[in-house]
Amino acid sequence: MIDVQNIHKSFGDAHILKGISTTFEKGKTNLIIGQSGSGKTVFLKCLLGLFEPEEGGIAYDGKLYADHTDDEKRDLRQEMGMVFQGSALFDSMTVEGNVMFPLEMFTNQSKSEMQERVNTVLKRVNLVDAHHKFPSEISGGMQKRVAIARAIVMNPKYLFCDEPNSGLDPKTAILIDNLIKEITEEYNITTVINTHDMNSVMQIGEKIIFLKDGLLEWEGTKNEIFKTDNESVTNFVYSSDLFKKVRQMYIQEQN
Ligand SMILES: Nc1ncnc2c1ncn2[C@@H]1O[C@H](COP(=O)(O)OP(=O)(O)OP(=O)(O)O)[C@@H](O)[C@H]1O
Ligand SMILES: [Mg+2]
């Protein structure tokens, strides 16, 4: 579980996060939505410990980041998996090399132990034939699977994904969403996902927070988001005609 307590983050004069408080539970897919520039990536980087907020704090399973020693911060970082926007695989390494990289960097496992773990996670993301391919030789959807495999290879307690669906067709995007949700439940991970994608919200939005201009404007579940009267949220959600229709259908069903 992650407990975010009134965090503020600025760059020079630009006040980007203006006091955000929320909690993200274990075993759940927590989504952060909001317009471009609303601060989603900055927020995720604060959760990752890449940015330190100048005010407020973030507690990981009950312990504030600031209360960790340097060694404990390093250990905590190793409990975090990250799927970056655009997968961010190493082009010069094979699929297997990419997934093995964190194990080589941070563990003393033998080659055969590492190989076994890599095989397990690649199987988990349904990639069994791509071990020796390079990222340029596989599809975008497969690249995301590799990125997810790399993010979970260290068995993380926390998983952060920045726009894991960007650049994928809707069907592949849903497969990736579902894969992240399944893995979250299976390994009881605290997962936080940045997304623009309303399909993701409908599919896996167990908890959703909506950021607007660096403030937490609304939070709730995927069912609640269709009932809210909050105008900023409805403008965001119903910016597409498709979702206006979905809402009408939903309201009819309720009546
Ligand atoms: N390292 C940085 N230095 C200065 N300003 C930054 C830095 N990182 C982000 N910002 C600013 O913070 C604001 C929020 O950016 P952020 O990347 O978090 O938005 P976002 O919600 O993730 O947008 P998108 O949906 O387009 O990814 C922007 O105005 C951006 O210019
Ligand atoms: Mg972003």
What's the 250 CA to ligand 1 centre distance in angstroms?
Answer: 34
Q: Is 73 left (phi over 0), alpha (psi -120 to 50) or beta?
A: alpha
In what side-by-side order are the strands of the sheet with 63-64?
14-24, 2-11, 55-60, 63-64
pLDDT band at 198 (very low <50, low <70, confident <90, very high): confident
Locate the ligand 1 atom nearest the alpha carbon of residue 194 and give its number.
22
In the numeric block, the tokens 């995301």 are attached to: 144
What is the average pLDDT score of the chain?
93
* pTM score over 0.75: yes
Best probe residue, ligand 1, of 35, 40, 43, 236 (max atoms within 8 Å of C-beta): 40
What confidence tens digit (pLDDT) does each residue in 29-65 have?
Answer: 999 999 999 999 999 999 999 999 999 999 999 999 9
What's the 13 CA to ligand 1 centre distance in angstroms?
Answer: 14
What's the 219 CA to ligand 1 centre distance in angstroms?
Answer: 21
Strands 215-220, 207-212: pairing is antiparallel
Q: What is the DSSP letter of 101?
A: H
What confidence tens digit (pLDDT) does each residue in 70-120 have?
Answer: 999 999 999 999 998 877 899 999 999 999 999 999 999 999 999 999 999
Best probe residue, ligand 1, of 10, 13, 36, 42 (max atoms within 8 Å of C-beta): 42
Instruction: Give residue 46's pLDDT.
Output: 97
- The CA-atom distances, in angstroms, between 35 and each of 67, 170, 204, 217, 241 are 33, 20, 19, 12, 17
Instruction: Give residue 237's pLDDT.
Output: 83
Instruction: Give residue 21's pLDDT.
Output: 98
What's the 87 CA to ligand 2 centre distance in angstroms?
Answer: 13
Query: Measuring CA to CA, which residue among 50, 48, 29, 32 is closest to residue 40?
Result: 32
Please say if the pLDDT value at position 240 is more than 70.
no
The SS3 assignment for 15 reads strand
Name residue 99's amino acid: V
Locate the ligand 1 atom nearest the alpha carbon of residue 43 and give its number.
18
Q: Which residues have any ligand 1 atom within 6 Å of their CB?
A: 11, 14, 16, 34, 36-42, 196
For 1-79+157-222, which CATH class?
alpha beta
The SS3 assignment for 204 reads helix
Locate the ligand 1 atom nearest the alpha carbon of residue 85 and give its number.
27
Q: Is 213 exposed, middle or buried (0-12, 13-18, 19+ CB in 10 A)?
A: middle
Please say if the pLDDT value at position 255 is more than 90.
no
Domain boundaries, the chain: 1-79+157-222, 91-155
Instruction: Give residue 251's pLDDT.
Output: 76
